Structure 1
Amino acid sequence: MEQSEFTEWIDLALERSQPVILTNHEEKLADILINKAYELSVQHNKTLGKALAAAFDILVSAEYYKRVTNRGWCYCPNGEPSIIFPYTNTCPRCILNKEFHFHPANKPPSGQIGQATSRLLCVFLDRLFNRASRRLKILKGSEPVDMIIQDLTSNVILIAEVKAAPLLTLPLLVKSERMTAVQGDAIIELVHSGVDNSSVHSSEFNIMLPVQRGESWNYELIPLGKMENTPDLWAYERLQMALQTDKDLFNRYFDFWEKAIEAYQSAYITGDRTSSIYWLTNACGQPSPRPENWPLRSNGSGYESVSDAKTSVGMDRTDDIKKGIYQVLKLGAESKPVNRKYNVKTALISNIHAVRHYDEYLLSLQDVVWTLDEKGTAKKVGDLPNERPIYNLFDGIISFTRNVARDEWIKDVFKF
């Protein structure tokens, strides 16, 4: 290709991209969460990257909560009667006591999850760059580019493939009366059942936040108030209010979140799935031990999972990793060679690194470099023309929890 063709490819990618326009409620909540993460890191000596990853999960939760509907609630009679809106396929209150009661989760479809998390990751990074006073413009790319970050103080352009998904989403709880049903001539109390919440707009919502006491887990309720007439904004506004009113809330949330990601990782490495909070994390798999009444999948291919691999955390879904590797290589091959107009970087970006699958899929590739051999005859470096440029496959494999960079600009910009 001629120099002009490569430059035109990048210019066209920039032309087709759209600036990420932040809404006021997204910006406010992201700023609060980022500030809380920095405060936690400084005051309690916690890893900043993990604190940011936990904060990002809350931002995604706001997007999930605003989609709450009348349907999909689980009635739990154990303890104070309540109806719960869960995000894994089991009653979240009972699982803290290691009891599995199947109920379908309320996660958005995987396509919607990808769109929402990719956009919110752009929002979160924008506010991080703003806090650091960096003049970086984030653009939502068009196929095959997910994200473009343009350094307005230099000619650096980062072209990235984005794979993002939360570790977990805490369930919503609404207190209810004890529910009954007629059975023959008798009135009986309902056991775990799927129910509708007919008064969703006037319900007093609470977040169920697990709290460890000794070796066991209980929970506290974080009040969010009512949805009322602002279904698109209420979750963002109520989370802002909760974090500003309860100064220690983010710290308590992080204590739980940190133990949850440890349980998620440990379950894969050691097979230990005894931690009750593990079953609140995405991609936690089949219940163990599986109750006798645990349902079969509707297609007949085995039993239902508590949460399947399609909801894997961060960039941890194997299909996403394989696609991401190809996309980064393709983007680099089409933009980097002989281009002098821009200093192009390529990266894979997520909120959480491939906790389970990094070593298996990415470790052997993180230091790969490549070049072009138009003649197709080179067997060693000396067979190539003098000063033939080489390029990183990954200038960065970027996430809040693990950042692998082969480029100084990326090391400097993504300091987590």
Structure 2
Amino acid sequence: MLVDIIDMNDYNLKEPLVDYPWKAEAERIITWAKNKTNEYRTFAFDLCMSLAYIDSTSGLEKHMQTCPSCPDGFNGHIGFINLCSPCYEKSNIWQYQKAAKPQSGALGKLSSEMILKFVEIIFDEFKEVYSIGGTEVADAKLIDNEDRIILAEVKSAPLLTFPLILKSNIEDKEHISGNLTSSQFRELESAIYMHNQLYIPLGQIKSEYWPFKQVADFLENESNSNDIEKMLEIWTEAKRAYSQKDRDSSYFYLANASGGPPKIAKERDNWPSKESISDSKTSAGMDRTDDIKKGIYQSLKLGVSNYKNRNIETALISNLPALRHGSEYVDPFVNILWGEDNSLVREGDLEYINKDDLRYIFDHLITLDSPIIR
């Protein structure tokens, strides 16, 4: 069974992001974050995933609405949560705008391959990182510097998905559809909105390797370091508000999995009664409880399948740990060791399992901000 699993993995191995033309630009962004603090790494993952959302959402022009609260001459908004964040931040208006979303299958593939590319570049402990396709055995295969094989389950999702803002010739002070054709849309000046009237210019939508190249250029330009620090501060406060479910923080509702808006949104701003800003399915990192349960089961399954082979280990991989549910669903399993009944050693009335015959539920918990790599 072990040989079959390894052969099947080898047959389906792919370099992360190899199918995307902007791969080299994404690698520039990740390399920029590599030697910085962990907060920059997790921030950069959200930035990359937001760009991937923009790139992979079909018919993006159909989602644009005019917005009077955008900065510096921008007047169009496309968001990935149901709240127009420029209106919320600048005018304290709970403006509902249906989120643009890539297809779920494309989104899962993108998120998985993006975090694997981060692991490949950021962690020097691993010399090879592959995505596995076409099988439920594992999501990824890593090889460390001692030639051990790590079979991994990947569960990743951004904390913040930053909106796209645009400059159009449409003049309107209300949120209305832009009604642009695809060719008209491609001519527009664009930016990724980083909240609090901060943004990263993206140039024309038809630009080469848009939108990744423009962000990579911005991050590598030292003159932008102060603005980048401000953007990181916003992201860090959103992480704190998300983790603590702090609804008194204005940043809480910008993060994914914020649920519905407060009562005033429906009573004053006509928020649709059955709509949330973003639901629990968009929980950050590995924080969705169904994903945690599946991830732990898959790690155990991999461990059972490869119990006798000490050269094969298991891992869970994510951008962030389970910030809200970690203490309940993950932490109790981190240091648990298990073994098989046929590994019991009997000496008189004493039965035990040698430590070398015990396995962790997952050998590694690989996240960008607080990894456990044994």
Asked if TM exceeds 0.5, the reply is yes
For 2:354 and 2:256, how far apart are their aligned partners in 1?
50
For 1:172 and 1:387, how far apart are their aligned partners in 2?
53
CA drift at 1:160: 0.6
For 1:385 and 1:163, how far apart are their aligned partners in 2?
32
Paired position in structure 1 for 2:213: 237
Alignment counterpart, residue 82 of structure 1, candidates 41, 58, 75: 75
Alignment counterpart, residue 285 of structure 2, candidates 300, 305, 314: 314
CA RMSD of aligned residues (A): 2.8
The question of 1:277 aligning with 2:251 is answered: yes
CA offsets 1:311-362 (integer angstroms, 9 cap, x no match): 1111011111111111111011101x2225xx12111110011111101211
Structure 1's unaligned 5+ residue stretches are 42-47, 181-189, 211-217, 297-302, 412-416
Kindly name which structure, 1 or 2, has the bigger radius of gyration based on alpha carbons.
1
What count of residue pairs does the alignment treat as equivalent?
Answer: 357
The 1:345/1:229 distance shift into structure 2, 3 A limit, reads: same
CA drift at 1:178: 6.0
CA drift at 1:286: 0.7
CA offsets 1:273-321 (integer angstroms, 9 cap, x no match): 122222221111110134222213xxxxxx2110011111110111111
CA drift at 1:387: 7.0
CA offsets 1:206-234 (integer angstroms, 9 cap, x no match): 22222xxxxxxx3134321102265xx21
The residue type paired with residue 212 of structure 2 is Y
The question of 1:20 aligning with 2:16 is answered: yes
Paired position in structure 1 for 2:86: 93
TM-score w.r.t. the length of structure 2 is: 0.86
**Secondary structure of 1:294 counterpart:** coil
For 2:320 and 2:355, how far apart are their aligned partners in 1?
37
Structure 1 consecutive aligned stretches of length 4 or more whose deviation exceeds 4 Å: 78-81, 384-388
For 2:74 and 2:47, how far apart are their aligned partners in 1?
26
Structure 2's unaligned 5+ residue stretches are none
Paired position in structure 1 for 2:179: 196
Alignment counterpart, residue 366 of structure 2, candidates 368, 378, 398: 398
For 2:356 and 2:29, how far apart are their aligned partners in 1?
48
Paired position in structure 2 for 1:259: 237
For 1:385 and 1:399, how far apart are their aligned partners in 2?
31
Instruction: State the identity as a percent.
Output: 31
Normalized per residue, the structure richer in helix is: 2
Contact 2:159 2:256 in 1 (8 A): yes
The residue type paired with residue 261 of structure 2 is P
Paired position in structure 1 for 2:160: 168
TM-score w.r.t. the length of structure 1 is: 0.78
**Secondary structure of 1:291 counterpart:** helix
Paired position in structure 2 for 1:286: 260
The question of 1:226 aligning with 2:204 is answered: yes
For 1:55 and 1:386, how far apart are their aligned partners in 2?
43
The 1:317/1:111 distance shift into structure 2, 3 A limit, reads: farther
**Secondary structure of 1:150 counterpart:** strand
The residue type paired with residue 205 of structure 1 is S
Q: Identify which range, 160-169 or 22-31, moves more after superposition.
A: 22-31
Contact 1:36 1:250 in 2 (8 A): no
The question of 1:30 aligning with 2:27 is answered: yes
Contact 2:53 2:102 in 1 (8 A): yes
For 1:388 and 1:76, how far apart are their aligned partners in 2?
62
The 1:121/1:78 distance shift into structure 2, 3 A limit, reads: closer
**Secondary structure of 1:276 counterpart:** coil
The question of 1:339 aligning with 2:340 is answered: no
Contact 1:145 1:160 in 2 (8 A): yes
Alignment counterpart, residue 45 of structure 2, candidates 56, 62, 65: 56
